[in-house]
Structure 1
Amino acid sequence: MKILVLGAGAIGGYFGARLLQARGDVTFLVRERRAALLRERGLVVHAADGRFKQDVQTVLASQLDAQFDLVLLACKAYDLEDAIASIRPALRGDAHVLPLLNGVAHIARLQEAFGAERVLGGSCHIPATITEEGEIAQLAPLHRIVFGLLPESGAAAKDKLQRLLALFRATPVDATLSEDIWQDLWEKFVGLTTLAASTCLMRSAVGDILASDEGAAYVQQTFDACARAAEAAGHPPRAEARTGFEQLLQQRGSTLTASMLRDIEAGAPTEGAHIVGDMLRRVQALGVEPGALRPAWMHLQSYEHRRQRDRSR
Structure 2
Amino acid sequence: MRILVLGAGGVGGYFGGRLVEKGEDVTFLVRSRRKQQIKKNGLVIRSVNGDFSFTPKIITKTDTVAPFDVVLFSTKAYHIEEAINDLKPFIGEKTVIIPLLNGIVHLSPLKQAFGSDKVIGGLCFIETTLNEDGDIVQTSVADRLVFGEIEQPDTDRIKQIADTFSGTKANFVLSDHIAQDMYHKYLIIAVVSGVTTLMRAPMGPIRESDGGQAFIQHLLEEITQIMKASGSPIADNIVEKHMQTIEELSYDMKSSMLRDMEKGLSIEGEHLQGYLLKLAKEFGVDASLLKVVYQNLKVYEKML
Higher mean alpha-carbon deviation, 30-39 vs 122-131, is at 30-39
Q: Distance in 2 between matches of 1:253 and 1:94?
A: 41
Q: Distance in 1 between matches of 2:302 and 2:249?
A: 33
Q: Distance in 2 between matches of 1:233 and 1:177?
A: 24
Q: Distance in 1 between matches of 2:27 and 2:247?
A: 41
User: What's 1:288 paired with?
Assistant: 285
User: What's 1:105 paired with?
Assistant: 105
CA contact (8 A) 1:197 1:292 kept: no
Q: Distance in 2 between matches of 1:256 and 1:249?
A: 10
Q: Distance in 2 between matches of 1:138 and 1:197?
A: 21
Q: SS at 1:49's partner residue?
A: coil
Gap change, CA 1:41 and 1:265, over 3 Å in 2:
closer
1:65 Cα deviation (Å)? 4.2
| CA deviation string 1:242-270 (max 9, x = no partner) | 43421244579944332212222221110
Pair 1:195-2:192 in alignment: yes
Q: Distance in 2 between matches of 1:27 and 1:253?
A: 33
CA contact (8 A) 2:104 2:186 kept: yes
Q: Distance in 1 between matches of 2:223 and 2:56?
A: 40
Pair 1:297-2:294 in alignment: yes
User: What's 1:227 paired with?
Assistant: 224
CA contact (8 A) 1:211 1:252 kept: no
Aligned residue identity for 2:303: R
User: What's 1:39 paired with?
Assistant: 39
1:120 Cα deviation (Å)? 1.0
Higher mean alpha-carbon deviation, 270-279 vs 44-53, is at 44-53
User: What's 1:135 paired with?
Assistant: 135
Q: SS at 1:141's partner residue?
A: strand
User: What's 2:161 paired with?
Assistant: 164
Q: SS at 2:192's partner residue?
A: helix
Pair 1:176-2:173 in alignment: yes
CA contact (8 A) 1:219 1:291 kept: no
Higher mean alpha-carbon deviation, 111-120 vs 160-169, is at 160-169
Aligned residue identity for 1:186: Y
Size of the aligned set, in residue pairs, is 303
1:64 Cα deviation (Å)? 4.0
CA contact (8 A) 1:72 1:97 kept: yes
1:220 Cα deviation (Å)? 1.5
Pair 1:260-2:263 in alignment: no
| CA deviation string 1:186-226 (max 9, x = no partner) | 00111111112222223233344445554333321210122
1:236 to 234, 238, 260: 234
Aligned residue identity for 1:166: D
Q: Distance in 2 between matches of 1:192 and 1:207?
A: 16
1:43 Cα deviation (Å)? 1.7
Gap change, CA 1:74 and 1:64, over 3 Å in 2:
farther
Q: Distance in 2 between matches of 1:92 and 1:182?
A: 25
Q: SS at 2:68's partner residue?
A: coil
Q: Distance in 1 between matches of 2:46 and 2:98?
A: 25
CA contact (8 A) 1:227 1:237 kept: no
Q: Distance in 2 between matches of 1:229 and 1:120?
A: 24
Pair 1:54-2:54 in alignment: yes
Gap change, CA 1:64 and 1:125, over 3 Å in 2:
farther
1:103 Cα deviation (Å)? 0.4
Q: Distance in 2 between matches of 1:180 and 1:253?
A: 27
Gap change, CA 1:59 and 1:207, over 3 Å in 2:
closer
Q: Distance in 2 between matches of 1:251 and 1:72?
A: 28
Q: Distance in 1 between matches of 2:250 and 2:183?
A: 27
Q: Percent identity?
A: 34
Higher mean alpha-carbon deviation, 241-250 vs 141-150, is at 241-250
Q: Distance in 2 between matches of 1:13 and 1:288?
A: 39
1:160 Cα deviation (Å)? 3.7
Q: SS at 1:50's partner residue?
A: coil
1:106 Cα deviation (Å)? 0.3
For structure 2, the 5+ residue unaligned runs are none
CA contact (8 A) 1:116 1:152 kept: no
CA contact (8 A) 2:269 2:294 kept: yes
1:229 Cα deviation (Å)? 2.8
User: What's 2:19 paired with?
Assistant: 19
1:185 to 153, 157, 182: 182
CA contact (8 A) 2:188 2:242 kept: yes
| CA deviation string 1:268-310 (max 9, x = no partner) | 1101111111112222333222242101111211211221xxx
Aligned residue identity for 2:18: R
TM-score by length of 2: 0.91
